[in-house]
Structure 1
């Protein structure tokens, strides 16, 4: 693929994909609302044509899974325009269980599969980087990670692994038609995750299980809408109920090596000063 478009090019996965491709000498165009090579907004189709000009491969990201039915049509509509513009390979960042009809990304997956061009779909588990760059960072910095997850375990996946799989899928034919479920090498609990980060940083950090309703109240007080807060609480509570602990071989199938361990992520994030 000659020219590669990265939607969400300043985000957790997009920035890492762009960095890998640029290091390999690939022509990359990052697209985002701000700070990218080109301004882009999925809600504003007038920004699409310029982003797609001359592009032959594209990485697709839906930035908001908590969206209305109307907004769930954004990626399918973009896929249609991308193929018309000459894109011949699509790589979609999806999510576990997106094959189910009720999932917000189901229509996006169907559009990519039915696009008539090469495609690959990535379904990563919870990102390890949620502890260092995302929604759980404030709790880590405060010393208490209060989430309604109980003693549930999940195989956090490193965003570096996701980016490496995506970069390979954007540039190599062998991934065409594959759906990769991406997880880390073992499932761990939030208590163990907090302990590992505490050991690496020398700080006191603990995980506290809270009632989902309390979690919702705190999220709403912080400015999150009640429906979004409830959805997030339900997803987290499902971890405590044993959902999402299964391992997948997607990273190894895609890259020929095992996924990075959570301990490796912690060591790198600590060295980079994410928790100082």
Structure 2
């Protein structure tokens, strides 16, 4: 009887959580619905969740082949997001490996100084970064954004360090006995064992860079260099009254985020389960 009561309560809790999550998904569902409608049907009340007349192909054509170069904005966002994410994973994992597994004088002090820099708001460094990029002749270039993005990684260094600290040092000792150097230990032992946390870092950083509006707005002035967030503003100006096209552009903008999460979610869930077992 007790087990049956527990099963019933579990089903009820799951049902309530499902209904509660549906409330948060309604805006996304409406966006997907509006992306396939004619403009005159978008604001019809009551809402037509399934369009009576589909205009999906025309909206798709208007977004990708219209007057606003959405394809170019898409390419720029992919270029920036992938490059900065991969560089972040590389630099942060190397730093975390050094702070966790290597013994050198001043290690703890250096890490404490690094963490203390997290209290500095990013907004307070906008002017110094602007002057630095102007001095380096990297203002209004993707290289300048990449340079800033790949080295603003203190949080991820801390996250990776905490995970790598749980990797037993016996693995590294055994590798040393086999004649492995630090590079080989990093590439063949640390990185494979850190896949769950690396996937988490990749998802978070990719989303941050993809959705970044402030930095491109300040450090880019040429429209051909605009990423998706700034490109959507041009769409808003061009199609101010056509919400169907705007929603189609918004759907296209979030697709890479969904794809990245779907690809890496197994590693993230694996990391959560490992943490649960260790806890």
Sort the TM-score into its range (normalised by shorter chain). under 0.3
> Under a length normalisation based on structure 2, what TM-score does the superposition of the two structures give?
0.19
> Under a length normalisation based on structure 1, what TM-score does the superposition of the two structures give?
0.20
Higher relative contact order (CA closer than 8 Å, sequence separation 6+): 2
Higher helix share: 2
Higher Cα Rg, which structure: 2
